[in-house]
Chains A and B, each alone.
Chain A
């Protein structure tokens, strides 16, 4: 009886999986610390550092001023000199405050120095719309980062991946951005208690299908999965791939799937124009042109800032219905 009970998989919400991942990294790596706004006693505005301040103290869970250039600069200087910082950039939208420190310093230092500098720094940041936080607290700007040689970018869609990708990021010797999603904080998933990694640069096939490959980024994985049934009713058996890693992007998994399904659709929450879906679409047509039976379709937000009004935000956000509509349009069904 008790054995059976122990074997029952444990479920954790996304928010607690983040906490557990960071906590285990702090235990494993003595030169790791967390630095950011409201991360200390407050435990972050999203709650994912709750308890860490009491456990690790003020020397390792460091409240900073509201100074994003300073936070990223701190991480660059500290990681180049023997620390393994975990930086917290509260909202991804604040990236504009520190883009020089990210793009010109963090991303390029190793290359500019001919490989002499190593920057094992992890940045956790919160993206995504859906809770009426309007234009400056809701964006998905992963494409800005993916365009920078020198940084890695991952976007966990679920609690398991959130923990595993945070651990992989913290063990990586490069700057890694873990782009979290605020709508997903309460989402439950099975999360092992032990430390594990989800490999950076590996996509995951979350639902197998034979007619169409849907490459979904971040929270859109759940919308893609919600579109599976309605698509089935239309006679389309969709394969859903959780992209997970934007930079590096797992081209092989995408191509392999496309060779099977002959049709592809990319969905992300970011603005469609200039979004990461454009890069994926280009790669697919370059590498699997002969396998394609239809144009590569893309679903993303319209070319607009994220609106405040719930009535508008609902229209703005890509969802399962938008995916189905795009499939119908592309396939003429």
Chain B
């Protein structure tokens, strides 16, 4: 650890990661046993990124997420119960059952949506950052996106405009090595997405996305810079998807080796971090066990809440398409 972080922060980082991991593991099971309809893109393996970045954000700060968005919402303060309810398509979900996994969001938490469109988030985050600057608030907007999205024109336009307007924006690239089922080497000639930052006139930083402290420290600098009015940063976090593109085992496509997966699992962000916390005495094994036990209890309760919740009434279908007019 480059500098001494307080036990409070270390414990919070750990808690955020465990909450994401356990939520995703259970969500994956619920999808595979047919309880959750549709498709889930799970964040298992990438927890250090959302956790390390969100540690610096308040509810006032905004984020845009990806199709793999549960982890971002959890790290931003999302409640398990309303999240599971949304995944179940229930009326009590964050989006009243209208968004589901791919559009899960909560405006009150500054979570401007998971997004079913690869590259959908960065222009929206840039717009939120523009709004923050226009309204002269000190809010920061963070766009999470993948290596795949870094090839979309929308990312390019958002990055250029954020740098041009010196917006309070951070672009966090979660490079998990695959754009869906296509390895990075087959979809872009650069090795480090962060190299592209130079083309926009912003700093580009590469960080180990399996190391929550490294992410935390790099994000701290980028967010400070954004908040100070010095413009955006492109922060690339190298990571890996432990589950498949969709679901847990996915569609059974052959595109990566078991050996590769096992190699990355040795670098599991949570396991490694727990070993360090035990070593330096921040947490005891008993305390770690308690974190899991509490999280599991909360998940159990949340799933029960989702199962007990009603589905939306058919009359609700046509609600929320438009906003009913209000006088300015």
Where the two chains meet, the residues of A that have a C-beta atom closer than 8 Å to any C-beta of B are 28-29, 31, 33, 59, 64-65, 67-70, 72-84, 100-101, 104-105, 109-120, 149-150, 152, 171-174
Contact = CB atoms under 8 A, between A and B. Distances in A.
Contacts of A118: 323
Given A104-B116, A111-B321, A112-B98, A76 B124 contact: yes
Contact of B127 (A77, A84, A104, A171): A77
Contact of B154 (A69, A78, A82, A113): A69
B153 interface: yes
B320 to A, nearest CB: 4
Given A73-B154, A81-B112, A112-B105, 6 more contacts: A33-B134, A65-B160, A69-B154, A73-B157, A74-B130, A81-B128
Contact of A105 (B95, B124, B126): B124
Nearest to B97: A114
Interface string B139-161: 00100000000000110011011
Contacts of B135: 31, 82-83
A228 to B, nearest CB: 35
A294 to B, nearest CB: 34
30 contacts: A64-B161, A65-B160, A69-B154, A70-B160, A73-B122, A73-B124, A73-B127, A74-B127, A77-B64, A77-B141, A79-B127, A81-B132, A100-B117, A104-B117, A105-B120, A110-B322, A112-B103, A113-B98, A113-B107, A113-B113, A114-B95, A114-B98, A115-B96, A115-B319, A115-B323, A117-B107, A149-B321, A171-B327, A173-B324, A173-B325
Contacts of B105: 112-113, 116-117
Contacts of B106: 116
B123 interface: yes
CB-based closest 3 A-B pairs? A73-B123, A77-B127, A114-B96
Given A31-B134, A104-B117, A78 B323 contact: no
A246 B132 CA distance: 33
A74 B323 CA distance: 20
B326 interface: yes
Given A80-B128, A110-B321, A174-B322, A100 B134 contact: no
Nearest to B108: A116
B328 interface: yes
A150 B326 CA distance: 16
A113 B141 CA distance: 18
A33 B130 CA distance: 11
Contact of B107 (A67, A78, A80): A80
Best-surrounded residue of A67, A68, A74 (most CB of chain B within 10 A): A74
Given A69-B153, A116-B105, A174-B322, A101 B131 contact: no
Interface string B36-71: 000000000000000000000000001010000000
Nearest to A25: B328
A67 B153 CA distance: 9
Given A77-B127, A113-B95, A113-B107, A174 B160 contact: no
A77 B320 contact: no
Contacts of A68: 157
A212 to B, nearest CB: 33
A249 to B, nearest CB: 14
A83 B134 contact: yes
A85 to B, nearest CB: 8
Given A77-B131, A83-B134, A70 B126 contact: yes
A174 B153 CA distance: 26
A59 B323 contact: no
A112 B99 contact: yes
A146 to B, nearest CB: 14
B326 A82 contact: no
B164 interface: yes
Nearest to A248: B322
B134 A113 contact: no
Contacts of A114: 93-99, 320
Nearest to B136: A59
Given A75-B127, A101-B154, A110 B323 contact: yes
Contacts of B62: 77, 81
Nearest to A60: B134
A116 B107 contact: yes
B129 interface: yes
Contact of A115 (B128, B131, B154, B320): B320
Nearest to B141: A77
B213 interface: no
B124 A65 contact: no
A152 B135 CA distance: 26
B309 to A, nearest CB: 13
A76 B117 contact: no
Contacts of A67: 157, 160-161
B125 interface: yes
B223 to A, nearest CB: 17
Contacts of B116: 104
B157 A113 contact: no
Interface string B156-178: 01101100100000000000000
A87 to B, nearest CB: 10
Nearest to A170: B328
Contacts of A33: 134
Contacts of A111: 98, 320-321
A174 B325 CA distance: 8
Contacts of A79: 127
B131 A81 contact: yes
Contacts of A101: 123, 154
A172 B64 CA distance: 25
A70 B157 contact: yes
